[in-house]
Amino acid sequence: MATARLRDVAERAGVSIRTVSNVVNGYAQVSEETRRRVEKAVAELGYRPNLLARNLKRGRTGLLALVVPELDVPYFSELARAVIAEARTYGYTVVIDQTDGEPDRERELIMRGASAALFDGVILSPLSLSQADLARRDGSDPLVLLGERIAESPYDHVAIDNVAAAYTATEHLLDLGRTRIAAVGDQPYDTGETAQLRTRGYRDAHAARGLAVDESLVVATPRFHRSDGAAAMAALLDRPDGPPDAVFCYNDLLALGAIRTLLTRGLRIPEDVAVVGFDDIEAGRYNTPTLTTISPDKAAIARLAVQRITGRLGDGPQQPPVELWAPHRLEIRESTAGS
Amino acid sequence: MATARLRDVAERAGVSIRTVSNVVNGYAQVSEETRRRVEKAVAELGYRPNLLARNLKRGRTGLLALVVPELDVPYFSELARAVIAEARTYGYTVVIDQTDGEPDRERELIMRGASAALFDGVILSPLSLSQADLARRDGSDPLVLLGERIAESPYDHVAIDNVAAAYTATEHLLDLGRTRIAAVGDQPYDTGETAQLRTRGYRDAHAARGLAVDESLVVATPRFHRSDGAAAMAALLDRPDGPPDAVFCYNDLLALGAIRTLLTRGLRIPEDVAVVGFDDIEAGRYNTPTLTTISPDKAAIARLAVQRITGRLGDGPQQPPVELWAPHRLEIRESTAGS
């Protein structure tokens, strides 16, 4: 079969070539009925827009890049699923790359994408990009930052309120009568603003009740993996002044690692040590005990990010960069509630 | 600093521009010593090939596509990490897309990539592509299939020996004296050749000892998620003839879901029911109990796949499609060994 062209689709759908083009390119000014007719013809004929030709003509590729530190950290793979689903509703294909949080790799990706005009937009969850790095970016394609806020950046930013979320998690443990609550996952300021915000929420929750924070219970970890949580928990259990009675971990992987250490040492959860995580990944919902956690609304994060990209690709006047906040909630499960 | 060009790298490394080009483009005819010298100069100067220019000149983009069913299935995200690492050693960037195992989406991706010349090669882990789908693909860019074998396809294929792996897993349970071993994760033939191969290995292990398989213990699941494993295990426990004394699950997520059900029902692992998974994802290594599993060599799968792609991008004569096998091994942990 010869390759179907735009005009073949138009003929079959009984519409103009321009209308087919509008549908294929995801423009809004097409009635739902017409869109359905065109999409049916596209499917029947197996029509596929020539991306390279489109690229040349419109300077667009139909591709969004999602750049995350680590795909095998479930929070990012679950977020990727949400971004892919959201982008598809706008006719965009998402391609994904991971940086391992290496500054060079992150820089390379935001620069390379721009210079090669491969992507119509980039959604980036940076671990270590600085303001200076971003300022050097000369691409005009939209960039949306996820998670970590980079002060004074000229780009849109989507996040949850990390201070409020950590406050809620800590408050929950205080409400349970816990008095020695460890915070696991702190990071130095230059590479971990998100972690710093969570530590602030942890401190604020103590301060609101007039409680002093035992600084030795605020524990930094090299990364946010299960092995880091397991090691941090082991160190906490070996303290001469005895173990904490609760642990707030800055992500679920740290919490699952900490739980493994606690169970291996014969401690009961939550009776001896209550555990709260952050991210609400699926692994925590099937763990024994199931994991109490802060659940960020990943679908909302994806929706806000993709909307900012597509909005900036329109023909209207460019708006100034904004900060958008997605909701979160505390999910109480067995690791604190005990049932 | 001005952007480094090919000639800057050549000067610093003390080689010709052509040699730098050979190294950067991953051609083979460069000595190891020269390659190292060029790579050092590339790193020191921060040289990055201009993708658009390269694309125009050579019809190449420097991009490999990795297409997997589901990124939030940890096996695929761990495999993605391995593919990204391997591709980087050849100077390739990997972009990733997920299909959710939808046949339309898989077809669209293998076709679109080819027609748009976006990718220099595609590594595809198909769930539901048929021989006919692949035959319709007209792109000349290399495609490597992972996992499921599609008979008579004109493409390279990389997999592990699923029959042998399932045989080993079942044999391990038989060696422990288990007599009622359930197999969880069977799939109908048209969409699940991999599952069929694992069922065959499970049957063969029984047959080798002259044991009959209780067909009612071979359980199909809609997908390979934790929720499917939890539901299948619940159904097995509710059987009038009593629960099985062991379960071989066709991936670790199914096994982790099954373990959750067993623990919720108050059963002991492995004393009452031993559990074996498949994939060796990190979650199984930190679960309590830790999960005995078949560990496919993901780094070898990635290496073989990327080597096939880069080999086919060279200028030499094209070789016929091959089937390549990556190794696997049984990792014995608490869910069968009890300690």
Q: Give the whole-angstrom CA distance, residue A244 versus residue A146.
A: 33
Residue A184, strand partner residues: A219, A249
Q: List CB contacts (< 8 A) between A282 and chain B.
A: 72, 226
Domains of chain A: 6-49 (1.10.260.40), 58-160+298-328 (3.40.50.2300), 162-296+330-337 (3.40.50.2300)
The dihedrals phi and psi of A116, each to the nearest 5 degrees, come to: -90, -5
Q: What is the pLDDT of residue B10?
A: 86
Per the CB < 8 Å rule, is B282 touching A226?
A: yes
Q: Which of the four pLDDT bands, split at 50, 70 and 90, describes residue A151?
A: low
The amino acid occupying position A267 is L
If one compares B282 and A37, the residue with the highest pLDDT of the two is: B282
Per the CB < 8 Å rule, is A97 touching B94?
A: yes
Q: Which of the four pLDDT bands, split at 50, 70 and 90, describes residue A37?
A: confident
B208 contacts chain A (CB < 8 A)? no
Q: What is the pLDDT of residue B82?
A: 92
* B4 to chain A, closest Cα gap in Å: 14
Per the CB < 8 Å rule, is B226 touching A51?
A: no
Q: What is the pLDDT of residue A52?
A: 44
Q: Give the whole-angstrom CA distance, residue B131 versus residue B149.
A: 10
Q: Give the whole-angstrom CA distance, residue B134 versus residue B338.
A: 46
Q: CA-CA distances (angstroms) from residue A72 to A68, A80, B209?
A: 10, 11, 40
Q: Which of A174, A180, A158, A162 is nearest to A278 (CA)?
A: A162
Residue B333 tokens read as: 């942990």
Burial of B254 (0-12, 13-18, 19+ CB in 10 A): buried
If you measure CA to CA, which chain B residue comes closest to A284? B283
Per the CB < 8 Å rule, is B70 touching A81?
A: yes
Instruction: Identify which of B97, B112, B285 has the shortest CB distance to residue A94.
Output: B97
Among A70-84, A218-232, A268-282, B140-154, which is the least confidently predicted range? B140-154
Question: Token pair 């600085």 is at which residue?
Answer: A130
Q: What is the pLDDT of residue A15?
A: 87
B287 contacts chain A (CB < 8 A)? yes
Q: Which of the four pLDDT bands, split at 50, 70 and 90, describes residue A294?
A: very high
The conformational region for residue B185 under phi > 0 = left, psi -120 to 50 = alpha, else beta, is: left
* Four-residue CA torsion sign, B95, B99, B100, B106: negative
A184: Cβ contacts below 8 Å, ≥ 6 apart: A219, A221, A229, A232, A233, A236, A247, A248, A249, A250, A254, A258
* A243 to chain B, closest Cα gap in Å: 21
Chains A–B, number of C-beta pairs less than 8 Å apart: 112
Q: Which of A1, A44, A84, A96 to mutate to test the interface with B (most CBs of B within 10 A)?
A: A96
If one compares A226 and B97, the residue with the highest pLDDT of the two is: A226
Q: Give the whole-angstrom CA distance, residue B293 versus residue B279.
A: 7
* A77 to chain B, closest Cα gap in Å: 5
If one compares A138 and A146, the residue with the highest pLDDT of the two is: A146
Among A89-98, A115-124, B38-47, B121-130, which is the least confidently predicted range? A115-124
* A118 to chain B, closest Cα gap in Å: 8
Q: In 3-state terms, what secondary structure has residue A218?
A: strand
The dihedrals phi and psi of A145, each to the nearest 5 degrees, come to: -95, 140
Per the CB < 8 Å rule, is A286 touching B230?
A: yes
B93 contacts chain A (CB < 8 A)? yes
Per the CB < 8 Å rule, is B108 touching A48?
A: yes
B168 contacts chain A (CB < 8 A)? no
Q: What is the pLDDT of residue A43?
A: 76
Residue B43 tokens read as: 């790193």
The amino acid occupying position B172 is H
Q: Give pLDDT tens digits along chain B (339 positions).
A: 355 677 888 888 888 877 887 777 656 567 878 888 888 887 788 776 554 444 445 566 778 889 888 888 899 999 999 998 898 888 788 888 887 766 666 666 665 554 456 678 889 887 766 666 666 665 567 889 898 666 667 788 999 999 999 999 999 999 999 999 999 999 876 666 889 999 999 999 999 999 999 999 999 999 899 999 999 999 999 999 989 999 999 999 999 999 999 999 999 999 999 999 999 999 999 999 999 999 999 999 999 999 999 888 876 677 788 889 999 999 999 999 965
Instruction: Identify which of B95, B115, B264 has the shortest CB distance to residue A97.
Output: B95
B318 contacts chain A (CB < 8 A)? no
B291 contacts chain A (CB < 8 A)? no
| pLDDT tens sequence across A159-210 | 999 999 999 999 999 999 999 999 999 987 666 688 999 999 999 999 999 9
Query: In the predicted model, is pLDDT for residue A90 greater than 90?
Result: no
Q: Give the whole-angstrom CA distance, residue A157 versus residue A304.
A: 9
* A298 to chain B, closest Cα gap in Å: 13
